[in-house]
Structure 1
Amino acid sequence: MAAPVNPTERSPLLDPTSGQAEDGTTSRESVANGEVFFSNEPTTLQMTKATSGVFLGIIFVAVDSSMIATLSAPISSTFGSLSRLPWLVSTFFIANAAIQPLCGKLTDIYGRRDGLILSNIIFSLGNLMCALAQSEWVLICGRLVAGIGGGGIAAISTFVLSDLVPVRRRGVWQGIGNIFFGAGSGLGGYFGGWLNDYINWRAAFWIQIPFTVLATILIFFTVNIPITNSDTSKSSKIRQIDFLGASTLFASLTLLLLALSSGGNIVPWLHPLVLTSLPLSLLFLLAFVLTELKVAAQPIIPVNLLWDWTIAGACLTNFFSSMSRFALLFYLPVYLQIQGYSPSETGLRLVPGSFAAALASLVSGVVIRSTGRYYRLGVSSQVIYFVGMSTIVAFNLKTPAWIPFVSFSVTNIGFGAMVSATIVAILAVADQKNQAVLTSALLAFRSTGTVIGITLAGLTFQNVLRSELWNRIGDIDHADEQIKRIIADLDVIWDFPTALKDQILQAHMSALTAVFAVILGMGGLGIVTSFFVKDITLPRKAKPSDSNR
C-alpha cells in the first residue's frame, strides 16, 4: 500500500492514492465497494472546511421539514383542504423513503460531491414549484420533488461523515450534524410562521432557494471525496442498483397513504378507491419483499442482515420512533393553533424542542466516544421519549402554556439521543462493505415510519373529528356544509358564535387526544425494539481499516 502522506493545509482532504496498491489499483475489497480511506484522520479544521456546504444543506432541509409543520394549516386553509394535510406532509417523506436507499450505490459510482450537488438542485426545484403553486396538487408535487432532493441531501451527508471519521467518533460528528439540523428545525418553524404572518406562506419557500444555491457552490469547492477504482464498469454497477425495490416501496407507501387519507374522509370506507388502493398497497409491499429476497443483486434493505438482532432492533426503533415523533411534530402545531396561537407563535414554541434533540444527539455522541457503550443510552432514550409523550396525552384546552413547551422538549431529548445511539450500534456490528447500505436502510426505515405515522395520525384525527363534530353540532342548520367547512379550514373556527366555537374546539381537542394516544403507543413499541440491540463495547482505538477512512 502507498506510504501514508500527512495532510497539509493545501493537500486534498482525501488522499486519492489511499487504499491503492503501488501500481495504483485498489488493494482492498472494501475500497471497491465504495469505502474511502484516509492516510490519516482529518483535523478539525479540515472537517470544518469539508462539511461547510454539507451542513448548510442540512440546515435548510431541516428548515423545510419544520416549516411545513407550522405552515400546513395556513396552506390547507388557502386551498380549503385541511383534510389533505397528510398528503402535504407525507409526500416529502415518501420521496425520502424511495430515494435514500439508492443514494449509497449511486454516489459510490458517480461520487458524493456530484450526488450532493444534484440533490440540492432538485431540492431547490421542488421549493420553486411550491412557491409558484396555484393548486394543492401542484404544491403536493412540489413537496414530492423537494423530498427527493432533501432525502438525497440527508442521506449523502451521512455517507460523507462516515467516509471522513472512524466509527467511535461518528457519534460526535453525527451530533454536530444534528446541531445544525436542530438549528434549522428550531428556526424553521418560527421563521416560516413569521413569514406567513407578515408576508405569506409562499415566501417561506422562496427564501430557501438562494441558500440552497450557496450550499451547492460550497459543496463544489469543498467536498473532495474521490470515486474509488473498481474493475466493474459503471453500467454493470448501475444494473446492480435496486431500482425495482425502490419503485415497489414507493408504490406501496403511496397507495397506503391514498387509502388511509381518503377512507371515511373524502370517500366512504367501502368506496372502490379505498377497496382498490389497500389491496394494491399490500401487493406492492409483497413485491418489494420478494424483490429484496429473490431478485435484487444488492437490495436497498438487505433482509438477510435484518436477522441480526442489533440491526433489526436499531432499524425498528428508528421506524417506531419516527412514526411517533413526526406525527407529533405535525399535530402539536394544530393543538397550539386551536389554543389561539398564530403560526409564528406556534413555531416559536417548537424551537426549544428542536434544539433539545440536537443537543441530546451531540451529548450522546460524546458519551459513546467516552464510554464506548451505546445500549443503555439507546434504551434510556426511548424511555425518556415515552415519559414526555405520556404528559402530552393529558393535554386539554386549559393546559398551561409552559407544559407543552417542556413536554415537547423532553420527547425531543429522547429522540435525539436515539438517533446517535442507533446509527453507532449498526456501524459497530456491520462489515465495512455493508455500512453504506445499512445506513441507507436505517434512513429508509426512518422515512417509512414517518410516512406511516403521519398517515395513521391523519386517519385518526379526521375520523374522530368528523364524529365529534356531528355529535356536538350536528343539529345546527346546514350541519353537513358547516362541518365540511370546519374540517377543510382550521381558521373558520373563529367565525362561529362563542357557544358553537367552544363545542368545535372541544371536538378538535378530542380528536387530538386520540392522535396523541396513538402516538404514545408508537413510542411504546420503540421501547420494546430498543431492547433487541446487543450491548457491545467499542474499541478505544479504531481498527486500521476504519481509522483510515
Structure 2
Amino acid sequence: MHGTIMATLAAPIATSFNSLPLLAWLATAFLIGQAATQPLSGKLTDIFSRSSGLLVGNCLFALGNLICGFAEEEWTMILGRTLAGVGGGSLNSIATIIASDFIPLRQRGLWQGIGNIFWGLGNGLGGVVGGYINDTWHWKIAFLAQVPFTLISLIIIWFQLDTIRSNSPSTPMNGRASITRVDFLGSFTLVSALALLLLGLTTGGNIVPWTHPLASVSLPLAAALLCVFIFVEQKIAREPILPLHFLRDRTVLCACLTNWFFNLTTYVFIFYIPIYYRARGASTTQAGAALIPFSITFPIGSLGAGIITTKTGKYKHLLRAILLLMLLGTIASCTNRLSTPLWPAMFELAIVGLATGAMLTVTLLALISAVETSQQAVVTSLSYVFRSTGSVTGLALASAVYQGVLESDLWTKIGDQTNAADIISNIKDSLDEIDRLPNQLQWAVRSSYMVALRATYMTTAAFAVMAVVSGLLIRELKLHSTLMRDDDGGATKGESFGRYDDQMR
C-alpha cells in the first residue's frame, strides 16, 4: 500500500512545498534507503537472525513515516522518506528470504504469487485511499495512519520469533562472535558507493545542473568507492557481505540485469501515470484510481507464474512471454496523446503490472536455483540491489528527461508571454497552476506536459528492449521439490549448482 499511496501523493506533497523538483526526491529518498540496506540484509540476517532483522526494519519504517507525518520542511520530509526506505527495504528482502527458508523451489513461485495477492490488494487500495485522504483531510494523515499497522506487524513478529529462528538455516552466535563476522569495510564502501551514485543521478539535471559539484563530484566518488568495494570483497573480506563471484554465473547476472531493467521501467510507469492524469485535469483521487489495474494484474502475473512453474517445473518459455508483454506495454504508452481517452493508459499499466509480477517470480526462482541453499539469502539480497538501483536510476533518468523536455517545450509554446519566466517556474513547481491560467494558455501547457511525458515513456521503451535481451539469456535450471534438493536420485544440498536444463534427463 505504501508505494501507491506515495505515487498518488507525490504531486500534492511537492505542490504543498511549492517545489515540483521535490517530486524526484520523494521517490528517490525512499529508494536510496532501500538500496543502502537491501544488499546487507541477507548476510546480516545470516549472522544476527531473520527475526532481529524484521524487528529493526519495522521500527525504522514506523519512525520514517512518523517523521513524514510531522514534516514542516523539505529536508525533514526527505529524511523521513530515507528512514522509511531503510526499514521498508529490509522488510522486503528479509520476508523473501524467510519464505525461501520454508518453501522448496518447486512450490516457491506459487507461494510468492499468493503473497503478492496481498501486496496487490494493499497497493490497489493505497492509491485510492491516499488520494481520498489528501482530498478529504491532508496528505500527512496518510503517513501517520501507517504507524499503527507497523506496530501490529511488530507484535505479530514478536509472537513468531521461535518459529522464524527454528527454520533459519543457521543459528546466530553470541554477540562478540557475531560482530567479528560482519564485513564492516565492505558494508561501508558498498552503502557509500550506492548512496553517492543515487545522489548524483537524482540531483544531476533535476535539482542542480550536471556541472554542479553535487553531481560532478558524487558520481566519480561513487565509482571509486565501488572499485574499493570490489577489491575488499575479492581480496580482504573473510566473509564478504555480497560475494561477487555469483555474477560470473550467466543466469545470476542476467536475472539481476532483468530485474534492473524491469524495475527501471515499472517505477517510471507508476510515478508518471498519475502525473499524466493530473495534467489531463483529473483529481488526485482519479489519478490514484489509475494505479488500480497495476495492483490487480501484478499479483495475477505473480500467482500465474507460480502456478505454471509449480506444475511444469520450468520457466524459460514463460519468461519469453513475459518479456514480450512488457515490451508491448511500453511501446503502446508512447502513442498516448491529449486526445487519447484515459482508459488506454490504465490498460498499458495493467500489462506492465502483469509482466512485472510474473518476472519477479520467475527471476527469483532462476536466482535461487542457481546457487546452493546456504547462499539463498545472499543472492536474494544481490537481486534486491539491482531492483532498488534500477528503480532509482529509472526515476532519476525519467525526471531528467521529463523536466528538460517540459521546460524546453514550455518556452517554445508560451515564451512570448508577459512574465513567461514566472509562469513557467510556477507551472513546473505546481500542477495546480495549470487550472489558474487563462483558457488560451491551458491547452498549450497541457500539450507541453504531454510532450514531456511521451519523451519519458520513449526512454523507458528503450530500456524495455534491453530487458528482453538480458531475459532471453537466462538459462533453465531444475526446480527441486524438496528443501534439501535431494529429489533427483540422491543429490545433496547444493549439488545441483550449475546443472542446466540441457543436462537434466
Same fold (TM > 0.5)? yes
Question: CA separation of 1:464/1:196 partners in 2, compared to 1, >3 Å: closer, same or farther?
Answer: same
Give the Å deviation of 1:148: 0.9
Q: Quick one: which amino acid aligns to residue 82 of structure 1?
A: L
Return 321-330 or 238-247, whichever deviates more: 238-247
Match of 1:326 in 2: 267
Give the SS at the match of 1:456: helix
Distance 1:267 1:121 in 2: 33
Q: 2:419 aligns with which of 465, 471, 478?
A: 478
Distance 2:198 2:35 in 1: 13
Question: CA separation of 1:456/1:373 partners in 2, compared to 1, >3 Å: closer, same or farther?
Answer: same
Q: 1:370 aligns with which of 296, 299, 311?
A: 311
Return 271-280 or 425-434, whichever deviates more: 271-280
List runs of 5+ in structure 2 lacking aligned partners. Answer: 494-505
Give the Å deviation of 1:237: 3.6
Q: 2:360 aligns with which of 419, 430, 434?
A: 419
Q: Is the 8 A contact 1:99 1:246 kept in 2?
A: no
Question: CA separation of 1:236/1:540 partners in 2, compared to 1, >3 Å: closer, same or farther?
Answer: closer
Q: 2:92 aligns with which of 144, 154, 159?
A: 154
Q: Quick one: which amino acid aligns to residue 120 of structure 1?
A: N
Q: Quick one: which amino acid aligns to residue 123 of structure 2?
A: S
Q: 1:190 aligns with which of 109, 112, 128?
A: 128
Match of 2:429 in 1: 488
Q: Is the 8 A contact 2:291 2:346 kept in 1?
A: yes
Distance 2:446 2:220 in 1: 36
Match of 1:21 in 2: none
Q: Quick one: which amino acid aligns to residue 351 of structure 1?
A: I
Distance 1:500 1:353 in 2: 33
Give the SS at the match of 2:475: coil
Give the SS at the match of 1:241: coil
Give the Å deviation of 1:282: 2.4
Give the SS at the match of 2:417: coil
Match of 1:138 in 2: 76
Q: 1:525 aligns with which of 448, 466, 472?
A: 466
Counterpart check, 1:406 vs 2:347: yes
Question: CA separation of 1:248/1:506 partners in 2, compared to 1, >3 Å: closer, same or farther?
Answer: farther
Counterpart check, 1:392 vs 2:333: yes
Q: 1:117 aligns with which of 52, 55, 76?
A: 55
Q: Quick one: which amino acid aligns to residue 377 of structure 1?
A: L
Question: CA separation of 1:543/1:273 partners in 2, compared to 1, >3 Å: closer, same or farther?
Answer: closer
Q: Is the 8 A contact 2:333 2:348 kept in 1?
A: yes
Give the Å deviation of 1:377: 1.5
| TM-score after normalising by structure 1 | 0.84
Match of 2:498 in 1: none
Q: Percent identity?
A: 40
Q: Quick one: which amino acid aligns to residue 390 of structure 2?
A: G
Q: Quick one: which amino acid aligns to residue 228 of structure 2?
A: A
Distance 2:481 2:209 in 1: 59
Q: Is the 8 A contact 2:274 2:290 kept in 1?
A: no
Distance 1:435 1:258 in 2: 30
List runs of 5+ in structure 1 lacking aligned partners. Answer: 1-62
Question: CA separation of 1:200/1:441 partners in 2, compared to 1, >3 Å: closer, same or farther?
Answer: same
Q: Quick one: which amino acid aligns to residue 51 of structure 2?
A: R
Give the Å deviation of 1:331: 1.0
Distance 2:183 2:263 in 1: 24
Distance 2:434 2:92 in 1: 38
Q: Is the 8 A contact 1:120 1:150 kept in 2?
A: yes
Q: Is the 8 A contact 2:107 2:481 kept in 1?
A: no
Match of 1:225 in 2: 164
Match of 1:40 in 2: none
Q: 1:431 aligns with which of 356, 372, 378?
A: 372
Give the Å deviation of 1:524: 1.2
Give the Å deviation of 1:234: 4.2
Question: CA separation of 1:242/1:527 partners in 2, compared to 1, >3 Å: closer, same or farther?
Answer: farther
1:16-415 alignment, distance < 5 Å: 63-223=1-161, 224-226=163-165, 234-415=175-356
Q: Quick one: which amino acid aligns to residue 280 of structure 2?
A: Q
Return 538-547 or 174-183, whichever deviates more: 538-547
Give the Å deviation of 1:387: 0.6
Q: Quick one: which amino acid aligns to residue 381 of structure 2?
A: S
Q: Is the 8 A contact 1:94 1:250 kept in 2?
A: no
Distance 1:321 1:343 in 2: 26
Distance 2:184 2:416 in 1: 53
Note the alpha carbon deviations across 1:388-436, whole angstroms, 9 max, x for none. 1111111111211221111110111111110110111111121112111
Q: 2:394 aligns with which of 445, 453, 457?
A: 453
Question: CA separation of 1:214/1:199 partners in 2, compared to 1, >3 Å: closer, same or farther?
Answer: same
Give the SS at the match of 1:87: helix
Alignment length (residue pairs): 487
Distance 1:538 1:229 in 2: 23
Q: Quick one: which amino acid aligns to residue 461 of structure 2?
A: L
Q: 1:467 aligns with which of 401, 408, 423?
A: 408
Question: CA separation of 1:416/1:229 partners in 2, compared to 1, >3 Å: closer, same or farther?
Answer: closer
Give the Å deviation of 1:150: 0.5
Counterpart check, 1:536 vs 2:477: yes
Match of 1:444 in 2: 385
Question: CA separation of 1:119/1:269 partners in 2, compared to 1, >3 Å: closer, same or farther?
Answer: closer
Return 226-235 or 533-542, whichever deviates more: 226-235
Note the alpha carbon deviations across 1:456-514, whole angstroms, 9 max, x for none. 11111111111111111112122222212111111111111112111111111111111
Q: Is the 8 A contact 2:201 2:393 kept in 1?
A: no
Distance 1:161 1:230 in 2: 17
Q: Quick one: which amino acid aligns to residue 380 of structure 1?
A: A
Q: Quick one: which amino acid aligns to residue 325 of structure 2?
A: I
Give the Å deviation of 1:264: 4.1
Give the SS at the match of 2:234: helix
Give the SS at the match of 2:21: helix
Q: Is the 8 A contact 1:109 1:237 kept in 2?
A: yes
Give the Å deviation of 1:543: 4.2
Distance 2:71 2:103 in 1: 42
Distance 1:246 1:336 in 2: 41
Question: CA separation of 1:231/1:539 partners in 2, compared to 1, >3 Å: closer, same or farther?
Answer: closer
Give the Å deviation of 1:322: 0.6
Give the Å deviation of 1:544: 5.7
